[in-house]
Amino acid sequence: MRHIYVLILFSILLTTSFGCSSIIRFSDKSSESKKETNYKSEKTKNKTSITDKKELDYNPEVVYKSNIQRMLLEEAESWLGTPYKYGGTDQNGVDCSGLTYNVYLSIGTILPRTAEQQYTYTKRISLSELDVGDLIFFVSKGRVSHVGIYAGNNTMIHSSTSNGVVRQALDSYKSQTIAGYGRP
């Protein structure tokens, strides 16, 4: 029954995102690539080159394959700077799974609340299939304990206990082992 409500909500979201078209063409990338290019150029207009490795909240080279990916990443980026709060679910403070829950809720997808439940709920994908908006799960002490959103170019957006919501290079996040990759 819950899946029916999610499908209805997702249909409404698609209709409002793409207009009142009776056909949604997911395979027609010609017009979408123009939109992506415009979006990327608007996003990069006022940014300077990254010279400081600490400036990880900006990712200029992300290429979106769909509007859904763009919306997911825009929503995730809107949370950057939010402080970490265990069990938190709003912009006053959020934990890792609260972040992913809210980001996906913004496109009408309801995820379970904890990282471990999200891991079980999502479809396993391989590293070669990993794409913008997919979830990256980490294991610590034998259980899934952390989740982040893949943001392209080997980076993720996640809620770090020490820094709150940040964009971080996957190579620099070595405190936990990757458990797997998931797609809702």
Please identify every residue annotated as catalytic: 96, 146, 158
For residues 65 and 132, is the Cβ–Cβ distance under 8 A?
yes
**How would you class 86 by CB atoms within 10 Å of its CB: exposed for 0-12, middle for 13-18, buried for 19 or more?**
exposed
DSSP letter assigned to residue 175: S
Tokens 């709060």, residue located: 85
- Assigned token pair, 28: 């027609």
CA atoms within 13 A on the CB side of 47: 15
* CA 21/CA 36 separation, integer angstroms: 20
